[in-house]
C-alpha cells in the first residue's frame, strides 16, 4: 500500500472521528437538534413503510435530513459567534437570527413535502 493511500485512510478516519464528535456535541448541547433527531427517528422509518413511490420516499427522507443538516450548520454559526464575543452585537444577533430562519424554512419545506405527498398529491 502506498504512502498516499495510507494518508487517505488516515484523513478519512480523522474526518469520521471529527464528524462523530460534532454529532455528539450537537446531541449533548443543542436541545433543538435533539428534538429534531427524535422526529427524524420517527419520520424516516415511517417514510420507509408508506405506500409511496421511490422518488416520493427519497423526498420524504431527504427533507427530514435537510432539517438536521441546517440545524447543525446553525449550531456551528452560533458556537462561532459565542466564541468570538459574549457581548451583544447587532451583527451577531442578525447572524443567529438568520441561522434560525434557515432552520425554520427547512421545516416548512419538510412540512410541505410531507403534506403534498401524503395528502394533496
Q: Is 24 annotated as a binding residue?
A: no
94 is in an annotated binding site: no
- Which residues are CB-contacts of 50 (< 8 A; sequence separation ≥ 6)? 57, 60, 118
36 is in an annotated binding site: yes
- Helices then strands (H, E): number in the chain? 4, 0
Q: Is 102 labelled as part of a ligand binding site?
A: no
User: Which residue of the set 56, 71, 90, 116 is catalytic?
Assistant: 71
Supply 74's cell numbers: 446553525
Catalytic, 56? Answer no
Per the annotation, does 35 bind a ligand?
A: yes
CA-to-CA distance for 37 and 96, rounded, in angstroms? Answer: 21
Q: Which residues are annotated as a binding site for substrate?
A: 11, 32-36, 57, 71, 100
Q: Which residues are annotated as a binding site for a divalent metal cation?
A: 30, 78
Q: Which are the catalytic amino acids? A: 71
Amino acid at each position: 500500500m502506498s504512502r498516499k493511500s495510507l494518508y487517505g485512510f488516515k484523513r478519512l478516519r480523522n474526518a469520521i472521528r471529527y464528524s462523530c464528535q460534532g454529532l455528539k456535541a450537537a446531541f449533548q448541547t443543542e436541545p433543538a437538534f435533539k428534538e429534531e433527531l427524535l422526529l427524524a427517528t420517527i419520520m424516516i422509518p415511517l417514510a420507509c413503510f408508506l405506500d409511496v413511490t421511490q422518488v416520493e420516499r427519497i423526498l420524504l427522507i431527504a427533507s427530514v435530513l435537510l432539517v438536521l443538516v441546517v440545524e447543525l450548520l446553525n449550531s456551528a454559526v452560533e458556537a462561532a459567534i459565542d466564541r468570538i464575543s459574549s457581548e451583544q452585537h447587532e451583527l451577531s444577533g442578525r447572524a443567529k437570527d438568520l441561522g434560525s430562519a434557515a432552520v425554520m424554512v427547512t421545516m416548512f419545506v419538510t412540512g410541505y413535502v410531507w403534506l403534498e405527498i401524503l395528502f394533496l398529491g
